[in-house]
Copies of this chain bind each other. A is one copy, B any other.
Amino acid sequence: MAVRRRAPDDSVSLWTRRPESVRTVQEIFPECRVSSNLEDATRDAAVVVLCTSPESIQSIGRRLPDLLPSEAVVTDAGSIKCGIVECLDGAFAGRFVGAHPMAGSEQSGLTAAHSDLFENAVCILTPTGKSLPRAVATVRDFWRMAGCRTVEMSPEDHDRAIATVSHLPHATAAALMNAASASGADVPALAGGGFRDTTRIAAGSPGMWTEILAGNAANISTSIDSLISGLQELQAALRAGDHRAISTFLEDASAARQKLRHKS
Contact = CB atoms under 8 A, between A and B. Distances in A.
B209 A250 contact: yes
Interface in A174-189: 174-183, 185-189
A79 B154 CA distance: 46
Interface stretch (A70-78, A85-93, A157-165): A157-165
B197 A198 contact: yes
Contact of A166 (B189, B195, B230, B241): B195
B223 A239 contact: no
Q: Number of copies of this chain in the oligomer?
A: 2
Contacts of A193: 103-105
A17 interface: no
A255 to B, nearest CB: 9
Given A198-B198, A201-B198, A224-B231, A168 B179 contact: yes
Contacts of A178: 230, 249, 252-253, 256
A102 B199 CA distance: 17
24 contacts: A103-B193, A104-B193, A122-B189, A160-B185, A161-B190, A164-B187, A165-B195, A168-B179, A174-B254, A177-B257, A178-B252, A182-B230, A188-B263, A196-B260, A199-B260, A203-B257, A203-B261, A205-B254, A210-B250, A214-B238, A214-B241, A214-B243, A220-B238, A224-B231
